[in-house]
Amino acid sequence: SQQGEEDPQALSIQEGENATMNCSYKTSINNLQWYRQNSGRGLVHLILIRSNEREKHSGRLRVTLDTSKKSSSLLITASRAADTASYFCAPVSSNTGKLIFGQGTTLQVKP
Amino acid sequence: DVKVTQSSRYLVKRTGEKVFLECVQDMDHENMFWYRQDPGLGLRLIYFSYDVKMKEKGDIPEGYSVSREKKERFSLILESASTNQTSMYLCASKPSGGGFHTIYFGEGSWLTVV
């Protein structure tokens, strides 16, 4: 499968802690994107990292990409209850240009 | 503001009914997508369209068809609904021009087939 595979499937932390989610994929990519989904809602784009980038920041989000290991991680620092959601990585195939979504990581941040 | 609108949030249909799920985007995007999302299976691509009247099968097209008569509208059709099509359906759109664009999603349509 070309899809991104997130790990862990579920994560529960206390407010203020950091949350780290990992993504592995199998295909060659030209970029990798992370999305967030609140319960019962659509997905919202968080951040895009190109294949020639190793790290990218956006507010409390930090994304890393290791193309040699075909893996990426999303770090949310100083988590808040409002960060409770599912997070999906979507590697973009360099062959087809298509985004392939994995099953996601469900994050629960307890107040 | 970017907007993808799915006309129905919650639907209950009977087995064998023909079901239409409508999606409209206001961003003049060339590409539009229909996904279904099921617990433990993530998002699976049903069909996508890269232009008016053009369509391509995704990973799970069986039991579905689509229509794109206008650029802004992409419809998903279940010709004869079955209980295994009970799911959340997500419409999305993005500009053409490769994979560096983000996808914009609608809020989803929850379909229950009884």
Using CA atoms, how far apart are residues B57 and A98, in angstroms rounded to an integer?
13
Using CA atoms, how far apart are residues B36 and B64, in angstroms rounded to an integer?
11
Is B60 near chain A, with CB under 8 Å?
A: no
Confidence (pLDDT) at A94:
85
CATH at residue A15: 2.60.40.10
Q: Is residue B72 part of a domain?
A: yes
Confidence (pLDDT) at B77:
98
Q: Is residue B113 part of a domain?
A: no
Query: B106: which chain A residues are within 8 Å (Cβ-Cβ)?
Result: 42
CB contact under 8 A, B105 and A30: no
What distance in Å separates residue A44's CA from the closest CA in chain B? 7
What distance in Å separates residue A65's CA from the closest CA in chain B? 16
Q: Which residues of chain A have pLDDT under 70?
A: 1-4
pLDDT tens track for B32-67:
999 999 988 889 999 999 999 999 999 999 999 999
Count how many domains chain B has.
1
How many A-B residue pairs are in contact by the CB < 8 A criterion? 54
Q: Which chain A residue lies closest to B91 (C-alpha atoms)?
A: A42
Query: B103: which chain A residues are within 8 Å (Cβ-Cβ)?
Result: 33, 35, 43, 45, 90, 99
Residue A39: which domain range? 5-110
* First-residue to last-residue Cα distance in chain A: 37
Count how many domains chain A has.
1
DSSP string, B21-66: EEEEESS--SEEEEEEEETTTEEEEEEEESSTT--EE-S--TTEEE
Q: Is residue B114 part of a domain?
A: no
Residue B35: which domain range? 4-108
Confidence (pLDDT) at A5:
83
Confidence (pLDDT) at A3:
62
CATH at residue B42: 2.60.40.10
Confidence (pLDDT) at A2:
46
Using CA atoms, how far apart are residues A104 and A88, in angstroms rounded to an integer?
4
Are A67 and A26 in contact by the 8 Å Cβ rule? The answer is no
Q: Is residue B88 part of a domain?
A: yes
Over range B2-19, report the average pLDDT.
94
Any bridge partners for residue B44, and if so which?
B36
Query: B92: which chain A residues are within 8 Å (Cβ-Cβ)?
Result: 42-43
Residues 33-92 of A with CB under 8 A from B: 33, 35, 40-45, 48, 50, 88, 90, 92
CA distances from A34 to A75, A91, B45, B79 (A): 11, 9, 17, 34
Q: Is cis: bond before B39, omega within 30 of 0?
A: no
Is B10 near chain A, with CB under 8 Å?
A: no
**Residue-averaged pLDDT of chain B:** 94
- Count of other CB atoms within 10 angstroms of residue A105: 22
Q: In what order do the strands lie in the sheet with A10-14?
A: A10-14, A105-110, A85-93, A29-37, A43-50
Q: Is residue B74 part of a domain?
A: yes
Residue to test with chain B: of A1, A99, A105, most B Cβ within 10 A: A99
The dihedrals phi and psi of A81, each to the nearest 5 degrees, come to -55, -35
